[in-house]
């Protein structure tokens, strides 16, 4: 089963890009994986944020395959431990979904409809995180979860 991260916006800082590339390679050793960047809508200050989020949501939905299991990253979602995430991934891999999509919003988050239609909501933290940092943390946690499932030394408890 393929795992994909659908992320709004590009990684503009080389440090984040390097870490993203590193974790992408690590994950691909264990599982088919890709990061799909969704173009961010240009929303001016005091601009129509909801319209911009709706356009981003349309772009995200076009990239999702039928039967994919959507997990949105949302500060109001469930906070999983690394072992909880590993368990969730194992359940999904044993299930009927064709792929797992982790969906990360841009600077303004995600459209409400996208959150409501997702199968699960996952919160990395109660803190508000920059979306680029959230992407790196998501990749690291996916990698960690896969090492837990494969009994590879990485995660210490």
User: Who contacts 139 (Cβ-Cβ below 8 Å, separation ≥6)?
Assistant: 5, 19, 20, 23, 24, 27, 35
What local confidence, expressed as pLDDT, does residue 40 receive? 93
- The CATH class for the domain spanning 2-38+48-149 reads alpha beta
Determine the Cα–Cα distance for residues 117 and 38; give it in Å rounded to an integer: 18
Per-residue pLDDT of the chain (157 residues; tens, 9 = 90+): 999 999 999 988 899 999 999 999 999 999 999 999 999 998 877 778 999 999 999 999 999 998 899 999 999 999 999 999 999 999 999 988 889 999 999 988 999 999 999 999 999 999 888 889 999 999 999 999 999 999 998 877 7
What local confidence, expressed as pLDDT, does residue 133 receive? 93
Angle at the Cα of 76 from the Cα atoms of 103 and 157, rounded to 5 degrees: 80
Angle at the Cα of 53 from the Cα atoms of 51 and 54, rounded to 5 degrees: 65
The residues spanned by each domain of the chain are 2-38+48-149
What local confidence, expressed as pLDDT, does residue 155 receive? 78
Please check whether residue 60 is in contact with residue 123, taking contact to mean a CB–CB distance below 8 angstroms. Answer: no
């Amino acid at each position: 089963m393929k795992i994909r991260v659908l992320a709004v916006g590009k990684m503009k800082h080389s440090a984040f890009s390097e870490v993203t590339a590193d974790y992408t390679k690590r994950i691909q050793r264990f599982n088919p994986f890709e990061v799909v960047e969704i173009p961010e809508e240009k929303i001016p200050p005091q601009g129509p944020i909801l319209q911009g989020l709706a356009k981003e949501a349309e772009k995200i939905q076009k990239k999702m395959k039928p039967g994919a299991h959507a997990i949105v990253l949302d500060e109001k979602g469930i906070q999983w431990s690394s072992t909880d995430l590993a368990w969730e991934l194992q359940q999904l891999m044993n299930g009927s979904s064709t792929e797992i999509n982790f969906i990360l919003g841009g600077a303004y988050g995600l459209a409400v409809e996208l959150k409501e239609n997702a199968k699960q909501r996952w919160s990395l933290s109660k803190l508000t995180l920059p979306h680029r940092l959230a992407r790196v943390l998501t990749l690291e946690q996916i990698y960690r979860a896969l090492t837990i499932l494969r009994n590879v030394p990485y995660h210490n408890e």
